[in-house]
Structure 1
């Protein structure tokens, strides 16, 4: 019995020692955690930059790229078969409408014209002869009719005279038909002769030269192409959401790499009434007056269209806009952040708190965006660092190390409190 009591006492003493050891260890760990981790348990403030909400002009623009083409490109083709005798123009030469630019050999056609002119003269002389014959036959017929009426001429003689008169009428009709035929033939050959001269169909410049003298030509073989570049065009594709904001006559600013920094003013000429089912875009044509012919077909160009504009809108930098829980908004600074006093280093400004303010956005350009509600003019919003923030984060103005008098927004706490 005594042995059992001794064993029980020893067990109790050992258990008490273990419990005391664990308690002391836990308290030491807690104290160490408090002493060593007190400084690291609070996240340091994030450095940010601010920008003011201001009023000013803002314009939403769309930039589209494309290739310049001429207002018209027409190929000059011969109207007759033959061999090219000469070409009067070279690549790039300016030409006027109707100007002779090439010629087809015309020796055979000239011979045919000469023969047709001779035949026409013969037919003309034949008509005069037949007219004289008819006049004589008419006189004889009238005289014999008078004699027949007085019974001074046999009936047979009168009938012979009448037959000769009718023959004269028929011969004159035939001569006139032959005369018309020869004239038509002559006119046709003269047209063919004139068609040996190939003229420019439009005002413009020689864009391409396809054939040289000596080549066989036909109405299916163009000799040169003429490009009208008094006005140049761009045909571009426009997405659905922009088409409704465009209209004929709208101004377009065009830039090309050949003239850096220079803008050419054009206009929207036409907008297609249908969309491409594959790309969901519609074709639009931009027309640009080409004074001095500086713009050339084939140049790569960028066209800028102003879709909407405001002359005096409330604006803020685009860098300030963030999306939080499906809402557009900005971050502003409010009063000192919790625990900032306990961790504030001597000689530095207290950390502020970032507060998310929802805003309603309007039109945008490359740098700023219109705000229709949510902020007021003069408020300062966070730009640099805004994308990394959450509502309630501790912040400090960058560029000053958090010193008093740094870039913290004047009255930031009041603005945040008002929001």
Structure 2
């Protein structure tokens, strides 16, 4: 009797252990994403999709939009306002708003210019004094807000007028002060690492650190019996970051190299993200965003945390103001005015930080600024009127607020808010 057993088939690519591991990683990642979306935790997905649509649209209108030159300029242009937006994220996590960041940024730039250019104070010392002035302004506002319990937007609205008036008083009738184009502050946005190995090395380091931190966090959660990500999901996230990082490094190296401003920006954002997510102070900030009275009953030092948050916002506004002055190598009576405040707030909200408090991260500012600056850059390349830019940005901001509200409602339905 003939044997009816089918002859063995050669293993296809999907049957190899490596391919199976990759398949499991993708399946686990998709399942993890679905669980988050069902619970209303959309994360950065909406803003990433918006950014992709913006880039595809403007690239189709002008092939130079995604050129190495334009992307390099874009990576520097987001830094000044982006740093200010990072400070706004801290305040939004409390469910509050800081309206004074534009004025504080202009004040810090004016203090630096007057001390260094008009009075001959060394650049490094003038820079430190300017940053400390921003921190002091934020601390005063934070303490006033925490002690009087007047809404932060009211306190900082008064600060907006006060610090702007002080900036005008410091500048006097001098109008515009040009800073040294070869000085320390000017190099913040004009220096580039021209060695290709620097950009590629930092890209590899970033991906490796993300994998290591995620792996250690998984071990800690596993030991405590807490929910944790699988190794496949961790590897998939690190791999995706590596692809993005090396692509960015390749494109930047095709122009002038890695901008110092972008490197400082990403290091600051990562450092403050660790402060928020991995420290007792950061957990207190998120707890206050969930409810001030509940935090008081839990014996949290509400006054201290609220004061510190506004101090961080003021400090970041001052640093951002110095980067903005570096970009144009001058300070004037219009510094810190215009749409700077609106763009900083919009960047934080568009990036995914909740207006209701308690949800968001410093990386929200990066994504939000990429969207806003990409729209601005695309409009400039395609010679589109500025009025259209404001309308598009406003529409994106409105969509972000609606998504935030719907996400919060979904989380409440699942008992997560």
TM-score class, shorter-chain normalisation, is under 0.3
Tell which structure's C-alpha radius of gyration is larger.
1
Greater helix fraction, Structure 1 or Structure 2: 2
What TM-score do the two structures reach when normalised by structure 1? Answer: 0.16
Higher relative contact order (CA 8 A, sep 6+): 2
